[in-house]
Chains A and B, each alone.
Chain A
Amino acid sequence: MLKIKNLYVNIEDKEILNDFNINIGSGEVHALMGPNGTGKSTLSKVILGNKKYTVKKGNIYFEGEDITKLSTDKIANKGIFLSNQLPCEIDGVSTADFLRTALNVKEDVPLYTFIKKINSALKDLNMDESMVHRSINKGFSGGEKKKNEILQMKVLEPKFIILDEIDSGLDVDSLKIVGENVTNYLKEHKDSSVLIITHYPRILEYIKPDFVHVMNDGQIKKTGTYELALEIEKNGYETYKNNSASIVSEL
C-alpha cells in the first residue's frame, strides 16, 4: 500500500531522513519506534507533503502511484490520514464544520448521514457532543485533542493511517478507548493499514503490530515483530544509537 524508497529529506540545511525505506502492505500494522529527534514525526509530515521539508532524493508510493510531489490535500484525498502528535488549535472553526466540508470534497454526504456518523464516533470515543461544535482543539486537554484526531479518522474513513505519538497525553482509560477504536476500525476496514509512531510499547498492547521498526539517524536500523518493542522497553535504544550499519530486514 505505502512504499518509501531511498528517501532523503532536509529541513533547511539539516538532513533529517537519510536513505529511509519502508514497505507497508494492505491491512498491515507497523510500529515505528526510536529515540527523540530521529525523524519519526518528520517522516509522517513528509508523507503528507508538508512544504516545510525538502525531499532531496527518493520516492513515496501509495497504491503504486508516486505521491512524493503531490500537494497535501491531494495526498489526503487519496486516503492517507495523519493523527498529529500536537494537533493545532484553530480559532472560530468547529470540528463539525470543517469535517463536513472535508467529507463533501470527496463525496456529497447528506447532513443526516454526517450527523449520524459523527454522533456514533462521539459515542464510541466517550466524547461530549459539544466538543465538535467548539473551535478545533481550543481549550481541549491533551487527551481530548488525541481523541478528536481519532474522531476525524472515523468520520473520514482513510485507507492508510499514521498515528504520530497517539499515546502521549492520554491517561490509561483514554489510551484504552483510543486503542479499541483503532482496532475496531481495522476490523471494519480490513484493507486499511496503520503506521504507529511511538516511544513506548504500551499502545501496541491495544493495537497489535505485524512489524516493529527501530529508527535512528533518519533511517530504520532494525525490523522485527512485537517482541522487538518489548526488547526496547527492557534495554532502551542505546544499541541502535551507536550502530551505524543498517540492519533492516527486507519485508
Chain B
Amino acid sequence: MNKIVLEEIKSNCVEFKDNGRYLIEEYKNKKFIVKKGKNIIIDIFNENDIDSNYIFDIEENSSVVLNIFDASKNINRDVSININGENSNIILSISAISLNENNYNINVYHNNKNTSSKTNIHALALDNNKIFIKNNGYIKKGSQKSKLNQDNKIIIMNDNNSKIEPNLFIDEYDVEASHGAYIGKFDEEELFYLNSRGLNDKESYNILINGFLIGEFNIEENIMEKLKDIIYKYVK
C-alpha cells in the first residue's frame, strides 16, 4: 500500500505511473492522471469535513478502482472521471454516513470507445440527516461499445430529507447504460430473515449496515475491520 498525502504535493496534478494500491490522505482540490495501461486501486477514507474537488483523467487500456468512505457532518464532494482512453474502465464506490448534511456531485465522462464505468453510491442518513447525490453519466459521441452503470442508494433511519438525481446523457447508439436510485429504510423482509436465524434487531442492523456500506468494497481485511470500527462508532 502506497500512501499519498495530498497536502505535501505542491503540484495540482498527481500522476499514477505504476500499478498498485494507493491510500490517499486528502486535501482540497487535485487532478489525478492514470497513465496508459496502468491498473490502480485508490482508497480514500475520511472522517473530516473537508470539501474536495477531484478530477481523474484515465488514459487508454487502464483500470481504476476508486473506493471512497466518508463519515462526515458536512461535506461537499465533487468527483469527475474522464475516461479518455480506449478500453479503460473504472469502478467508483462511495460509501457515506451523513452526520448532518453531505453533498455529492459525481460526473463520469466516457470520452472514448469500449470504456466502462460502474458507480455505486451507498449512503446512510442517521437520525433525520441529509444526503444529496447528483450522479451524472455521459457517453460522448464516438464512444461506441461503452458501458455505464449507476447504483445510487440512500438508507434512511427516520424521516427522509435526502435526494438523488441520477442522470444519463447518452450521445451514441451502440452502448449500454443503466441507472437505479433508491431512498428508503432497510427491507423488513431482510430484517426478518436475519432475525429468523437468531440475530436480534441490533445485531441484524449492524450486519445490514456494514454490508450496505462496505460489503462491496474490495479492500484488505485489516482496513475492513477499521471501517467497521468507524461505522460502529457512529451507528451504535
Contact = CB atoms under 8 A, between A and B. Distances in A.
B199 A98 contact: yes
B215 A91 contact: yes
Nearest to A97: B207
Interface residues of B, number: 25
A156 B215 CA distance: 23
B187 interface: yes
Interface stretch (B23-31, B161-169, B190-198): B190-198
Which one of B187, B198, B204, B207 has the highest number of Cβ atoms from chain A below 10 Å of its Cβ? B198
Given A98-B207, A101-B207, A52 B188 contact: yes
Contacts of A94: 215
Chain B: interface secondary structure?
helix
A135 B122 CA distance: 16
Nearest to B217: A92
Nearest to A72: B195
B216 interface: yes
A84 B211 CA distance: 21
Interface residues of A, number: 31
Nearest to B204: A73
Contacts of A87: 193
A71 interface: yes
Contacts of B215: 91-94, 135
Nearest to A103: B198
Contact of A71 (B189, B200, B208, B210): B200
Contacts of B45: none
Contacts of A136: 193
Contacts of B213: 92
B196 A72 contact: yes
A102 interface: yes
Contacts of A88: 187, 189-190, 193
B198 A76 contact: yes
B198 to A, nearest CB: 4
Nearest to A83: B196
B183 to A, nearest CB: 15
A29 B190 CA distance: 28
Interface of B: 187-190, 192-201, 203-204, 207-208, 210-216
Given A94-B215, A99-B197, 4 more contacts: A50-B192, A73-B203, A88-B193, A91-B211
